[in-house]
Amino acid sequence: MLQRAQRRPQFFYTTAPLPCPYLPGRTERKIVTELSGAESEALHDRLSRAGFRRSHNIAYAPVCPGCQACVPIRIVVDEFIPSRTQRRIIKSNLDVMTHEVPARATAEQFALFQRYQRARHGDGDMAAMGYYDYRAMVEDTPISTMMIEFRDAPDRLVGACLTDWLSDGLSAVYSFFDPALASRSLGTQAILHLIARARQLRLPYVYLGYWVPQSAKMAYKARFFPSEILTAGSWHRLNGAAPPAEVLVPESVG
């Protein structure tokens, strides 16, 4: 009699409380699980649709006591129409070339990552990351991951976006750009590129992680319309039939 191989049980753990990185005075806790083995891709797909994010070989979601400020958000690719501001950003970055490269850390990327962290998030944990920490962030992945590099005409690296492939979309894990070129809105340009690339690949969504309306650093994610947010276990259209008002705020994807 043939016996079916038993699937390894998937364990989930809750992290210890830590200060919230987005909202002062609040406490952050996460539920985490390991992504490993032959089922990593399928598990990551399911968890992403359930609002989880990936970091290294861990999938996580917030389970903060008394707080639901972090809202999973994704862009509906086929229906996306760039706003006037986004069209202007596309036009101003026509000279920027994109290259999809393997998820391998380089010294050039790390130098740009350091400049970005020091200028935009100098008081955050990532500003203290060394090269091997950065290398682990990029390369420690059990699923299909790529780095999208953005280069100007002299072939200078001006931005990058670590991106996961899902069966139903592209997921922006983390992006960074040259802080000296802030006026070019390269963070927005990275997302606009992911939307265009997902459309080419006939993938329905671009996942942006967590939208935190009360945080100026994360509120920009609602500027890509139409978007869907995950609430009460289901994806719903954000803000009904009208796009949110355009407000220029700091950018970063994570």
- Average predicted confidence (pLDDT) for the chain: 91
The reported pLDDT for the residue numbered 246 is 39
The reported pLDDT for the residue numbered 252 is 47
With bands split at pLDDT 50, 70 and 90, how would you rate the model's confidence at 2?
low
Q: What is the fold, at CATH topology level, of the domain defined by 71-237?
A: Aminopeptidase (3.40.630)
The reported pLDDT for the residue numbered 5 is 54
What mean pLDDT do residues 219-246 have?
80
**Contact in structure between 10 and 58 (CB atoms under 8 Å):** no
With bands split at pLDDT 50, 70 and 90, how would you rate the model's confidence at 167?
very high
The reported pLDDT for the residue numbered 254 is 55
Reported as a single tens digit per residue, the pLDDT across 50-82 is: 999 999 999 999 999 899 999 999 999 999 999
CA dihedral 190, 192, 197, 202 (to 10 degrees): 140
Q: What is the CA radius of gyration of the chain?
A: 18
Does residue 248 have a pLDDT over 60? no
With bands split at pLDDT 50, 70 and 90, how would you rate the model's confidence at 220?
confident
**pTM score:** 0.90
Query: Whats the size of the chain, residue-wise?
Result: 254
**What percentage of the chain exceeds 70 in pLDDT?**
91
The reported pLDDT for the residue numbered 219 is 83
d(CA 145, CA 139): 9
Where in the sequence of the chain do the CATH 3.40.630.30 domains occur? 71-237
The reported pLDDT for the residue numbered 8 is 72
Reported as a single tens digit per residue, the pLDDT across 106-147 is: 999 999 999 999 998 887 789 899 999 999 999 999 999 999
Of 35, 76, 78, the residue nearest 54 (C-alpha): 35
Q: What is the DSSP letter of 15?
A: P
The reported pLDDT for the residue numbered 196 is 98
